[in-house]
Structure 1
Amino acid sequence: MPPLHRVLTLAAVSVLVLTGCTPPADVPPGEVTSAADAVRELPGVDHVAVTRTPSGAEPVQGNFGQLTEPTPSTVSVEVTLAGTLEPRAAGEAAGEAHRLLVAAAGSVDDGENITMASSFVGGPGLGVSAGPDTTSEVVADAVEDGFGLLAAGATTVDLGLGGGGDGSWDDDPLAATAHVSAATRDDFLEIARAAEDLDRGVELQAPGVLYRAATRVPDVDAVRLLVAAAARPGVVDATYLSQEQRLTLRSDAEAGSQNLTDLHGWLETQDFATADHPVAYTVMDAAYAETTGWVSGVEPAGYAPHTLEPFGDAEPWPEDPTAPDCTARDLAVTFGAVDSAAGTRGASVRASNVSGVPCAVENVPELVFLNDAGEAQPDVATEPYEPGVVPGRVVVPDGGTVLAPLLWRAMSTANDPDTTTTIEVTTVPRADPVPIDVTTDGTPATGLDVLDGAEVRIGPWTQGD
């Protein structure tokens, strides 16, 4: 195996909350500088650079007249490891560097309260982010795994070790899905085997091919099926969604062509799916018309009614039969960012409980898609998110957020059609619809490609992440 010619960079980001004095604008705290000196002495460390980016140090007048916290400044520590290090040695060096830097941030006693968030990047291969509560052992494992995946043929590996936007950090290695890119689909199998050995959840991507497993360790057989399907004549894009057990293929063949007939026949004769684990497939032709079926020809006898599992890794919220139903006033509605893969769009409508007490929801929200003129998009069909799914009663704690997932097929915006810029959301039965702008916060500024004739799959309210 050729040596790894990789450079690992650690960018340790520290947030300074000023409590009584203003530090020099561009001078890092002495404790962090001393820790950087100690990191320089670690085996395998080639270089350490420490910088500080000043920011606002004075309280700022906020909404309603109150003073906000001073704008934090940032200290960055960049550590370069020797590219020839073995994965275990790279992990040990990164873990010890993280430990030293976090300890230094916690020992600052000159009027500054420092919180450190570390970001490990390796150009061009590895990127790992970690927070102050992420242990050095988890950092070491992540960096070691990243180098191992690079050794297995990955071109880039990105891992996030926590930080869900609420100040919490998750030290479960499987919560850190490795987003892995490869030069070609032919590298997928070796990378998937490596991830399985490392017990690491991955998302694999190469030009025209995507394997998405959320936090799950990859199913090597499913990866093998995806790679083989992507190599079939005429297939342009191939996606396997592990959580949905669905294979989606886009072909450049015309409807009714022999290529499409052969592709369906190949899918239905594969020795892969079983009655206990059926896998649906969708094939899109050159005109994006869809045909569906079941891999291996194994169609489930029927879909038993079921609710959606909570999104994310949080423990399910407790049930409370005495909790009242949420009203429209209890729920603040927002729109989740759009994600795209192989011609499919995914997003969510989110509702946060602002009532001050727990309340319950048990329905699918009603959605109306409006263009920039405020007119409803014609002929938009809404369908269940997946067969058999039914709403479950979710008791939303005060401040908790539920989401309703959305899926739709990408539609062409080449001729500047009237895109969807607003969605009217009826959160609970008999509530007044609430308009939400869908041209900001992770969505295209021109709106969503939910156009005339779109089909949107909508899920029921489910515990969010």
Structure 2
Amino acid sequence: MGRRSVGGCRYPHGVTETPQPTRLHPLYVAVTVLFVVLVALALWATARGDVRAGEQGDEREAAADPAPSEDARIRADVERDLGTIEGVESATIQVFEEGMLENAPPPSPAVTIDLESFRTPEDTQATVDAVYGILAGSGLSGPPTVTVVDTLPGTKATLTLEPAGPGDPAVHDAVAFLDAGATSVHLTADNAAVSGRDPAALPGLAEVAGTLARPLNSLSTDGYGAMYTSSVDPVPPPLPAVQLLAEAGSRDETTQTVYEVRSPTGNPVPLLTVYVDGPPAPVADWLRASGQADLLGSAIAFTVYGSQTSESGFVSDRELVSTDPANDEADAAAAAADGVPPCTGQDLRAGVTGFDAAAGSRFLTVTAENVTDAPCALDGRPGLSFLRASGTVPDVLSEPEIPGQSPVRIVVPPGGVATSQLRWGAMSTANDPDQTTSVLVTTVPGADEARLRVADVPGAESGVDILEGARIVVGDWVRSSS
């Protein structure tokens, strides 16, 4: 029997057909290969171009960087030489050329010497003298300015100096202060300041200043809770004054105390200002009983500011004596003579002068000049009120220098001047910029009120910070020493 086709299949029954793979046309293969090659070439060229551009950029940047200048090389050499000096931890030299004018002389190099710590005053002085020796022949572009610094590990005590030159004992003295327990020493041409950890440390530092004959502008605790300050003609802080400051600052009720050596333009008597929590009477009584003014040999005025009131007086109850050597005998004779008439408003011409500011206090001096050809007697204090820039009168509290003490009667000769000093605590003008611009003065009861412009006083051209709520301590009339 012959075979038949089943379902149109050409193969015998039970045989499966294997599909043949699709055959690509040779042209398609060639195009595909060419495309892949071109893409690869393009990527390779791009990458190579980036690399070459980077290399060229580096070359351009390298070419743009100038070679170190001769001055820079000299500075580097000097820094290296300074760093080899025994006692020098590191040395840096900087030149600040920004803002230089054309044809201006080259700026002075700023040399900073960081010292090794815990060396003797003598060794440290020798180190800094050696620094100056190298700088003298260094060839730097200008005369260098030298700053010496040090921070003692473990204590955080710091030293900052600007010596005047080789042999300047400031270097020796600064290390001596650190050895005595100072937490900060800052000695420059403009300011000499030393600080200690607490009030008890200050007398020891004052002793060092006295031994070294080192004048100080300030001697204070960290944070200025207790501070001796002398802004004019500083001298080594007198030990009795610093002992008084330390004792006042160590009292439980004291929050701050300041001993000020006063400006010659105002009252020359030193002023001790004490701020306390609570009433001022206990500290004021203690100051009046203290013997420190006797040890110092001069009067010390004080003001104690309490929570609500204040008290003023003199340490050791020593009173201020104003002297005028040229007229002492004449004044004494006139004061002792019968019939010296009291000064009237027409006899006196009022003035205002002597504005001063120091350590949170402000001072202003009111004057009364005898414009007649005969002496007259004056006592008491001037009557005062104040006028602000807005034309308003601030509400202030006026207090006598020494409460309860009768004023001393003085004789003002023809052309003579009596003065009364005003003192008040600094006030913030941030929220109340309406400052006092005039003082209204009544020299004696019944006199016409004189309006005196504060803006005419040097240093107070924009007014003074006598604002609402100010407390003014008004001194008695005394004879001017000038």
TM-score normalised to structure 2 length: 0.54
Once the two structures are TM-superposed, the CA of residue 228 in structure 1 deviates from its matched residue by: 1.1
Kept after mapping to 2: 8 A contact 1:205/1:211: yes
Partner of 2:82: 39
Matched AA of 1:135: G
Distance 1:229 1:128 in 2: 31
Post-superposition shift, 1:38? 3.0
Residue 271 of structure 2: aligned partner: 246
CA contact (8 A) 1:126 1:157 kept: yes
2:147 matches 1:119? yes
Which residue of the partner structure matches residue 280 of structure 1?
Answer: 301
CA contact (8 A) 2:195 2:220 kept: yes
| 1:265 alignment partner in structure 2 | 285
Number of positions where the alignment pairs a residue of Structure 1 with one of Structure 2: 323
- 1:184 matches 2:204: no
Instruction: Check 1:261–1:380 CA distance in 2 against 1; reply closer, same or farther (3 A cut).
Output: closer
Please give the per-residue CA displacement for 1:267-301, whole angstroms capped at 9, x wherever unaligned: 122222239512221111113x432112112224x
| Structure 1 CA distance for aligned equivalents of residues 300 and 160 of structure 2 | 33
Percent identity over the alignment? Answer: 22
Q: Whole-Å Cα distance in 2 between the matches of residues 245 and 147 of structure 1?
A: 29
In structure 2, do the counterparts of structure 1 residues 226 and 456 end up closer, same or farther at CA, with 3 Å as the change threshold? closer
1:236 corresponds to which of 246, 249, 255: 255
Structure 1 residue 136 and structure 2 residue 166: aligned? yes
Q: Which amino acid aligns with 2:259?
A: Y
Which one has the largest radius of gyration?
2
1:409 counterpart (418, 424, 437): 424
Task: Output the CA distance in 2 between the equivalents of 1:382 and 1:436.
Answer: 24
Q: Choose which of 179, 184, 194 in structure 1 pairs with 2:208.
A: 194
Q: Which has the higher helix share?
A: 2
- Aligned partner of 1:209 in structure 2 is 226
Residues of 1 paired with 2:185 and 2:306: CA distance?
A: 32
Structure 1 residue 127 displacement after superposition: 0.9
Deviation at 1:77, TM superposition (A): 2.6
Larger RCO: Structure 1 or Structure 2 (Cα < 8 Å, ≥ 6 residues apart)? 1
Give the structure 2 partner of residue 449 of structure 1. 465
The question of whether the paired residues in 1 share the 8 Å contact of 2:122 and 2:172 is answered with: yes
Is residue 200–residue 250 contact of structure 2 (8 Å, CA) maintained in 1? no
Amino acid across the alignment from 2:167:
E
Shift of 1:51: 3.1
Cα deviations across residues 197-251 of structure 1 (Å, max 9, x unaligned)?
2111222111410112452112112211111122234221111124532221111
Q: Matched residues in 2 for 1:370 and 1:91: separation?
A: 57
Question: C-alpha separation between the residues in 1 aligned to 2:454 and 2:255?
Answer: 44
Partner of 2:331: none
The CA deviation at 1:34 is 4.0
Distance 1:58 1:266, change over 3 A: closer
The residue number in structure 1 matching 2:92 is 49
5 Å-filtered alignment, 1:61-210, equals 70=104, 73=107, 75-104=109-138, 107=139, 114-123=142-151, 125-130=158-163, 134-138=164-168, 141-161=169-189, 178-202=192-216, 203-206=218-221, 207=223, 208-210=225-227
Amino acid at match of 1:269: A
Tell me the residue number matched to 1:420: 435
Unmatched 5+ stretches in structure 2: 1-65, 152-156, 263-268, 327-353, 366-384, 402-407, 413-420, 440-451, 476-480
Q: CA deviation at 1:80?
A: 2.2
5+ residue gaps, structure 1: 1-22, 60-68, 163-176, 255-259, 308-334, 349-367, 391-405, 425-429, 441-446
In 2, distance between residues paired with 1:115 and 1:421?
48
Deviation at 1:96, TM superposition (A): 2.5
Aligned-partner Cα distance in 2 for 1:423–1:25: 63
Structure (1 or 2) with the greater strand fraction: 1
Q: Alpha-carbon deviations, 1:1-40, whole Å to 9, x = none?
A: xxxxxxxxxxxxxxxxxxxxxx999874555444433322
Letter in structure 1 aligned against 2:111:
V
Tell me by how many angstroms 1:53 deviates: 3.0
Output the CA distance in 2 between the equivalents of 1:28 and 1:423. 58
Aligned 8 A contact 1:36 1:101 in 2: no
Residues 354-412 of structure 1, C-alpha deviation per residue, up to 9 Å, x if partnerless? xxxxxxxxxxxxxx998676x576578999x9x99x9xxxxxxxxxxxxxxx9853354
The 3 A distance-change label for structure 1 pair 146 and 433 is closer
2:161 partner amino acid: V
Paired with 2:144 and 2:89, the residues of 1 have a C-alpha distance of 22
Matched position secondary structure for 1:204: strand
Cα distance in 2 for residues equivalent to 1:265 and 1:217: 28
Structure 2 match to 1:316: none
Determine if contact 1:423/1:436 at 8 Å carries over to the other structure: no
**Counterpart among 349, 358, 361 of residue 344 in structure 1:** 361
Secondary structure at the aligned position of 1:267 is classed as helix
CA contact (8 A) 1:380 1:456 kept: no
C-alpha deviation, 1:70, in angstroms: 4.2
How do residues 366-377 of structure 1 correspond to structure 2 at under 5 angstroms?
Answer: 375=391
CA contact (8 A) 1:411 1:451 kept: no
